[in-house]
Amino acid sequence: MGLTGIQIFQMLPKTNCKECGVPTCLAFAMNLAAGKVELSACPYVSDEAKQKLAAESAPPIRTVEIGTGAGAFKVGGETVLFRHEKTFFNPTGLAVLTSDDEPEDSVAGKLKRFNEFAWDRVGLTLQADAVAVRSKSGDAAKFKALAEKVKAETNRGIILMTEDAQMMAEGVAACHDRKPLLYAATPDNAEEMVKLAKEHKLPLCAKAGDLEALAALVEKLTGAGVQDLVIDPGSRQIGRVLHDQIHIREAAVQKKFKPFGFPTIVLPFEMTDSFQMETVYASMALCKYAGVVVLSDFQGHNLFNLLLQRLNIYTDPQRPMKTEQKIYEINNPGPESPILCTTNFSLTYFIVSGEIENSRVPSYLAVMDTEGLSVLTAWSAGKFVGDLLGEFINKTGIKDKLKKRNVIVPGYAAVIMGDLEEELGSDWEVRVGPREASNIPSYLKENYS
Amino acid sequence: MAVDLPKRAYSGAIREIVVGKGDKSFCVGGETAYPFYTFEGKIPNPPKFGLDILDIEPEGWAGALLEVYGDSVKNPVTWAKKCVELGADMVQLTLQGTDPNDKNLGADHAVLVAKQVSEAIDVPLAIWGTANAEKDVEVLRPIAEELSDRRLLIGPVIEENHKQLGAACLAYKHVAIASSPIDINLAKQLNVLLSNLGVTDENILIDPTVGGLGYGLEYTYSVMERARMAALTQQDDKLQFPIYCNLGIEVWKTKEAKLPDSEMNLGEHKQRGVLMEAITTSSLLASGADILIVRHPDTMKLGKQLVAEMLAG
């Protein structure tokens, strides 16, 4: 991180053995400094150098894991303030709140939705990460029972919420083997909470009334031996929350201020009674640095949208999102339906398929693998050209399903028409479609309905 | 424990642009810090919200939108008045009916509707074409001339027609919404071209082109963040303009906004569309939007509350 290629080079064996895949140790050091390779690619690096480099390259914000096995999720590990500077790494964990004084059917509904809600998008599954279990009744048995229920009925993360250490011990007893996040240690209960966290190696939240008190509390907790922390500066007014989140991230990344080198937690459910406003607060927290966000409820209409936003904000800006190469069926196409062609840049796919759906005209959409490049870029890179596209369409065997065999190329790639005709053969008709996706509905309606 | 917070050194400011004329006109821009970073600089003018209306009765709109506007959508004048009643800071009239790939209505129609709407409301008015370079010149130029006393916002002014539309804005004293396809260099270049043409700095807004939630929002988000960075910390004076985000149209045309209740587990359609638009709004506010054009009045309410609270923080 902080080291230059030359500084790293000094610590390498300097044997130019090439086993890491590049010709010289200097080249490897340069790649390492640029974050392009892992140190583990060098088989001969000394342990001393390893430790030194690991310490230097540790992200300024600690990565904290909550949960176990396939249901675990990571937060923190961030290195930049703005996504375009590199990327954001570990998506904000989204959690739903349950309380031990809540009617049973309400809790049951929340757990059911938590388990059921999962959406596929660009080959990824979008789903929430955790259930928060809050002590509100003051009855330890009820708190424990709810923690047990959540543990039994879900398999992702758990957040136990109480500032009463004795109460927390009950929750920990119920589900410590699931590695729950404990919310929260405060200046008043720090010793007892540390004990619980250390005993079972659990991640712990530090909550204080403002940034200075938070820094002091974090020092105390790390001093007592707890390293897996999530931090909460206690602000509950959205403007204040935003400022605190920014201050924490900037102090950690720019000043390497250790007490703030942890992921944060934001609680929109404590900030408003309005379901919609709560979602809006959550979305702002998602943009600006929250590690975990806890909401009062998940419905399809808030969770799906927040997951989409999270996908957008946390997508690596340097790596285009790709869609699977295949022929998609839209609006129940039949033998007379046309095939529209495009590339597998996911944004292109979403927009084109959305416009075809809007047209209500039954169609096929042939999405060709162009390594995530858009139509014009892929064409100029020689990846979206007539013979390759024709080969792809031929291989799918779609021909046998069709009587009409019309294939439509994007207006911007009209020049590939000739080669495509040649590749597909004379029993196909190749046409040039509109340049902009927004004109697809009128084009399809005019020609195919 | 003392916390030593980093403080950013800003070297530039966003220009203040006056929108509209008369009592209901307002200023946007003027920021000397990143969006809502009030601890580092000034955000003198809160971002403003406009509602989007069409020149023709909408087709294929989501039920959630049609329900809230009722019969008013049959007449742009009634519709525009309704938007003002609902608390819109401004209205955007989208000339959907002039789309050459659709109804292809002519300049006479566009001028008449724009004039009627303009006379019916006192809040600022934006006229938005169909992003067809030639057709937009054909309909927007006569509107600029007819409503020369109104200080309209006119867009999208794109590279292909910036000479004609820029000249129209210049001649009739309107604000040009300079629209470029999600690219900071193209945004800058278009502003340079407009300047060369004689369009002065107080008459330009940037439209970075909006990708809605799930449909390219991240690209717009990062282009806006980079534009603000260049404007405020790298003295890039050709990016020191307020940002205009026409997002309603992008959100409400998506499949997800239109699906009926419970389809694909996506919950209630009414709330889903509003929240899609509201999350797009909050993301664009976080990345630097100064004017946001939305379609659902509930989005506008949520957005206005968010802005007020963020500035009170």
Give tens-digit pLDDT for A242-259: 999 999 999 999 999 999
Gap between the terminal Cα atoms of chain B: 22
- Cα A155 from Cα A130, distance rounded (Å): 9
Q: Are B50 and B291 in contact (CB under 8 A)?
A: yes
Predicted ipTM > 0.90? yes
pLDDT digits (tens, 9 = 90+) for B62-78: 999 999 999 999 999 99
Residue A10: its pLDDT value, please? Answer: 87
A242 neighbourhood in chain B, CB within 8 Å? 36, 310, 313
CB A205 within 8 A of CB A182: yes
Residues A2, A58 contacting (CB under 8 angstroms):
no
Q: What pLDDT digit, counting tens, does each position of A7-46 carry?
A: 888 888 999 999 888 899 999 988 888 777 878 888 898 8
Q: Above pLDDT 90, what percent of chain B? A: 95
Domain membership of residue B139 (yes or no) is: yes
pLDDT of res. B176:
98
Containing structural domain, residue B266: 20-311
Contacts of A311 in chain B (CB under 8 A): 214
Per the domain annotation, does B234 fall within a domain?
A: yes
Residues A20, A124 within the same domain: no
A48-62, A104-118, A173-187, B30-44: segment of lowest average pLDDT: A48-62
8 Å CB contact between A159 and A180: yes
Task: Give residue-wise pLDDT tens across range A409-442.
Answer: 999 999 999 999 999 998 999 999 998 898 899 9
In terms of DSSP H, where are the helices of A179-237?
190-200, 211-223
For residue A121, is pLDDT > 90? no
Question: Would you place residue A109 in the very low, low, confident or very high pLDDT band (cuts 50, 70, 90)?
Answer: very high
pLDDT at A54 over 90: no
Both A355 and A271 in one domain: the answer is no
- Indicate yes or no: CB of B215 within 8 angstroms of CB of A354: yes
Residue A283 has pLDDT above 70, yes or no: yes
Which chain A residue lies closest to B217 (C-alpha atoms)?
A: A312
**Does residue A345 lie within any of the structural domains?**
yes
**Contact residues on chain A for B226, CB-CB shorter than 8 A:** 82, 84
Q: In the A/B pair of chains, how many CB contacts fall below 8 A?
A: 178
Residue of chain B whose Cα is closest to the Cα of A84: B222
With bands split at pLDDT 50, 70 and 90, how would you rate the model's confidence at A2? low
In this structure, are A229 and A283 located in the same domain?
Answer: yes
Do residues A271 and A378 both lie within one domain?
Answer: no
Residue A235 lies in a domain: yes
- Compute the mean pLDDT over every residue in chain B, rounded to the nearest whole number: 96
| Gap between the Cα atoms of B126 and B118, Å rounded | 10
Q: What value does the mean pLDDT take over residues A345-359?
A: 89
Instruction: Report, as an integer, the average pLDDT of A390-403.
Output: 92
Does residue B7 sit within a domain? Answer: no
Task: Give the CATH number of the domain where residue A21 resides.
Answer: 1.10.15.40
Whether A72 and chain B come into contact, CB under 8 Å, resolves to: no
Indicate if A224 and A305 belong to the same structural domain: yes
Q: What does the block give as tokens for A73?
A: 């999720």
A330 with A352, same domain?
yes
How far apart CA A94 and CA A298 sit, in angstroms, is 10
Q: Where are the beta strands (DSSP E) in B20-166?
A: 26-29, 48-54, 90-94, 125-128, 153-157
pLDDT bin (cut points 50, 70, 90) of residue A1 is very low
Mutating which of B38, B130, B218, B300 best tests the A interface, going by the most A Cβ atoms within 10 A? B218
Range of the domain at A44: 5-57
Average pLDDT over residues B120-132: 97
Q: What is the CATH number of the domain that holds A149?
A: 3.20.20.20
CB-CB: which of B38, B229, B282 is closest to A283?
A: B282
Chain B contact present for A348, CB below 8 A: no
Looking at the structure of chain A, the number of domains it has is: 3
Q: Indicate the pLDDT class of residue A56, thresholds 50, 70 and 90.
A: confident
Strands (E), chain B: 16-19, 26-29, 48-54, 90-94, 125-128, 153-157, 175-179, 204-207, 244-246, 291-294
Determine the pLDDT at residue B102: 87
Query: Are A51 and A119 contained in the same domain?
Result: no
Q: Look at chain B and report how many structural domains it folds into.
A: 1
B157: domain CATH number is 3.20.20.20
The one-letter code for the residue type at B200 is T
Q: Residue A208: which pLDDT band, with cuts at 50, 70 and 90?
A: very high
Q: Which residue type occupies A172?
A: V
